[in-house]
């Protein structure tokens, strides 16, 4: 911008932004929880490797690479990915029940590959889950103690995960976390497994857990793992950070069981816009597109930032403002005048199209971008075609109408 300060043009009601007291970490669950989506297909090993490399490029700290207790096929893929990650900054973790029989294969795997793997040892924590399973709380507490203790004694870094924490009794959450931490857990993971909680509930729950850890006087990290059954996954993850969570879980495009998980891509976008991370996110679109193709989950056209429609407009008034900004030679302005997300930050750009609600400026812009002189006759021809169309015209259709 020339002689114009951003604050002169945009009043930001979001300010002042909360600032985290320590760096935020990210755990990518695409290759574990993401593949539990009923409509997901398993990526090839080559696709998994490419995804892990993109996660690494995006500054994601850890990735859940699967369930080693599931099958030999799963263990083979996990072993390959863990070896590949030795070349990278991102580190692996795996999900296991709090059973020695689930954790023992990880011990064997670590001995085989010679590098550490974090164990995410999970157990159901809510009364409704215990009732359905026929467990009493003492049995669950026993699972927590024995599983974490075994992993810790074997030298594995352990995160203790309470499934359905968002619907569990406070006194039982506290007992489980105290037992797991005393047994050697270095992180605890609060889970909204069923997508039940709200942002306010998230703040209360994370604060509750943070106070347990503070009272114990230990250095234990807090993870947040959220689902979006109510559409609140992203909002809850931001609330969790504000309340003290230091590592947030997500999946590409929110792919996951039922309605899915917190969208890792949108989480990174929002934290970048909040100024909480400084990571270069221009490869985030590549990550989304690869995950979409590898898992067989199409990106909705109106998906924020990475959907086809996110930075595209065919509306006359909107397009005119963007075009005027471009004609000023001001890409900063063009990227923001009709967009709350600057496309350029994410390796993308604004796009002007022609459709039933377009005006002359849309047509002139598209024609000129195609190297065609925008005469009045050509503009009128294209607008006539657009007004009789039920959808946006392709650039090829615009050119055909112009010469029509």
Give the model's pLDDT for residue 4. Answer: 66
Tell me the pLDDT band of 1, cut-offs 50, 70 and 90: very low
CA atoms within 13 A on the CB side of 112: 13
Q: Domain residue spans in the chain?
A: 25-295, 312-402
Q: Model confidence over 143-194: pLDDT tens digits?
A: 999 999 999 999 999 999 999 999 999 999 999 999 999 999 999 999 999 9
Q: How far is residue 298's CA from residue 289's CA, in Å, rounded to a whole number?
A: 9
C-beta of residue 249 within 8 angstroms of C-beta of residue 219: no
- Rg over alpha carbons for the chain, rounded to the nearest Å, is 25
DSSP string, 319-361: HHHHHHHHHTT-HHHHTTTT-SS-GGGGT---EE-B-TT--HH
Q: How far is residue 93's CA from residue 365's CA, in Å, rounded to a whole number?
A: 50
Q: How far is residue 285's CA from residue 316's CA, in Å, rounded to a whole number?
A: 27
Tokens 């609140």, located at residue: 232
Q: Model confidence over 221-238: pLDDT tens digits?
A: 999 999 999 999 999 999
Helices (H) and strands (E) in the chain, counts: 16, 10
Q: What is the biggest distance separating any 2 CA atoms in the chain, rounded to whole angstroms? A: 81
Q: Model confidence over 6-65: pLDDT tens digits?
A: 778 999 999 888 999 999 999 999 999 999 999 999 999 999 999 999 999 999 999 999
146 CB-near residues (< 8 Å, 6+ apart): 98, 100
Tokens 């947040």, located at residue: 224
288: part of which helix (H) or strand (E)? helix 284-295
Q: Model confidence over 284-329: pLDDT tens digits?
A: 999 999 999 999 999 999 999 999 999 998 888 888 899 898 888 8
Q: How far is residue 264's CA from residue 64's CA, in Å, rounded to a whole number?
A: 13
Q: Averaged over 347-356, what is the pLDDT?
A: 92
Give the total residue count for the chain. 404
2 has a pLDDT exceeding 60: no
Closest CA to 29 of 206, 283, 256: 256
Q: How far is residue 241's CA from residue 274's CA, in Å, rounded to a whole number?
A: 12
In CATH terms, is domain 25-295 a member of 3.40.50.10320?
Answer: no
Cis upstream peptide for 16 (omega within 30°): yes
C-beta of residue 184 within 8 angstroms of C-beta of residue 145: no
- pTM for this structure? 0.93
3-state secondary structure of 76: helix
3-state secondary structure of 239: helix
Structure tokens at 224: 């947040």
């Amino acid at each position: 911008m020339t002689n114009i300060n951003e604050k002169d043009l945009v009043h930001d009601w979001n300010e002042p932004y909360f600032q985290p007291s320590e760096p935020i970490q990210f755990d990518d669950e695409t290759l574990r929880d993401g593949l539990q989506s009923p409509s997901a297909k398993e990526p090839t090993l080559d696709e998994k490797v490419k995804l892990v490399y993109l996660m690494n490029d995006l500054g994601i700290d850890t990735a859940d690479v699967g369930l080693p207790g599931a099958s030999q096929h799963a263990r083979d893929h996990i072993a390959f990915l863990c070896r590949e990650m030795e070349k990278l900054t991102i580190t692996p973790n795996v999900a296991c029940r709090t059973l020695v029989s689930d954790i023992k294969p990880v011990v064997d795997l670590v001995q085989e590959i010679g590098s550490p793997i974090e164990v995410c040892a999970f157990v159901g924590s809510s009364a409704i889950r215990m009732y359905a399973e026929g467990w009493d709380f003492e049995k669950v507490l026993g699972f927590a103690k024995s599983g974490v203790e075994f992993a810790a004694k074997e030298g594995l870094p352990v995160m203790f995960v309470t499934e359905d924490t968002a619907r569990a009794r406070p006194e039982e959450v506290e007992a489980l976390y105290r037992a797991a931490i005393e047994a050697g857990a270095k992180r605890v993971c609060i889970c909204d497994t069923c997508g039940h909680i709200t942002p306010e509930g998230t703040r209360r729950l994370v604060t509750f857990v943070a106070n347990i850890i503070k009272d114990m006087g230990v250095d234990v990290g807090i993870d947040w793992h959220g689902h979006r059954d109510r559409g609140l996954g992203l909002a809850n993850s931001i609330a969790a950070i504000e309340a003290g969570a230091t590592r947030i879980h997500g999946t590409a495009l929110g792919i996951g069981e039922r309605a899915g998980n917190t969208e890792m891509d949108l989480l990174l976008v929002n934290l970048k816009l909040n100024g909480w991370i400084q990571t270069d996110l221009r490869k985030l679109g590549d990550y989304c597109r690869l995950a979409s193709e590898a898992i067989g989950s199409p990106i909705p056209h109106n998906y924020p930032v990475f959907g086809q429609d996110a930075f595209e407009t065919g509306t006359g008034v909107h397009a005119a403002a963007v075009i005027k900004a471009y004609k000023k030679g001001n890409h900063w302005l063009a990227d923001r005048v009709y967009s709350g997300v600057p496309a350029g930050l994410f390796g993308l750009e604004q796009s002007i199209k022609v459709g039933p609600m377009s005006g002359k400026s849309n047509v002139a812009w598209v024609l000129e971008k195609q190297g065609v002189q925008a005469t009045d006759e050509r503009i009128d021809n294209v607008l006539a075609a657009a007004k009789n169309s039920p959808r946006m015209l392709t650039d090829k259709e615009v050119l055909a109408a112009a010469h029509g």
